[in-house]
Amino acid sequence: MSLKPVATGAVPTYIQVMDAVNETASSFEEILTDFELLDDWEDRYRYVIELGKALPDLADEKKTSANKVMGCASQVWLVTHTDGNPDNPMMTFEGDSDAHIVRGLVAIVLATYSGKTASEIAALDAFETFAKIGLVENLSAQRSNGLRSMVNRIREEARVRAAA
């Protein structure tokens, strides 16, 4: 979803970022780059919400208690898929939330971890990266705890599958 080039030295506008969001699903690196280009936190929040709007809806039958993430103030569901490799499976995730900004956080978490092997996921603490870009400190304590719960759940599932 990379941003289209703008004049040298120019910072892309919120509209340019949103046009890029709507074109394709984002990789974490693209999200990180776009996020860093937005100076204003209000624009960054809008960007997170737009990422959530672009996230495919999770089917109602997948919104089960087994898929629900505990520790989130909003309702959050994560579904894990593996490629069947018993030693170190490739893992992908689906997710959803009933809150707009949390849905955007789900999209960021999925972009961070989906498509990696269980051992890669277990070793990757995305929360550190989220903190570096200021995402954690600019969320409410409840949202930050929910984000940590999502990351911990995915990493724990990966640890179990990598150890199997």
Q: Write down the pLDDT at residue 136.
A: 86
Q: Is 72 a catalytic residue?
A: yes
| pLDDT tens by residue, 34-62 | 888 888 889 999 999 999 999 999 999 99
Asked whether residue 116 carries a pLDDT value surpassing 70, the answer given is yes
Q: Find the catalytic residue in 1, 17, 72, 122.
A: 72
Measured CA angle at 3 (ends 143, 80), to 5 deg:
45
Q: Which domains does the chain have, with CATH numbers?
A: 58-163 (3.90.1010.10)
Burial class (CB in 10 A: 0-12, 13-18, 19+), 88: middle
| pLDDT tens by residue, 59-73 | 999 999 999 999 888
3-state helix, strand, coil in the chain (%, to 5): 55, 10, 35
Q: Give the chain's mean pLDDT.
A: 84
Q: Find the mean pLDDT for residues 101-121.
A: 95
Q: Which has the higher per-residue pLDDT, 24 or 143?
A: 143
| pLDDT tens by residue, 4-17 | 444 444 444 444 44
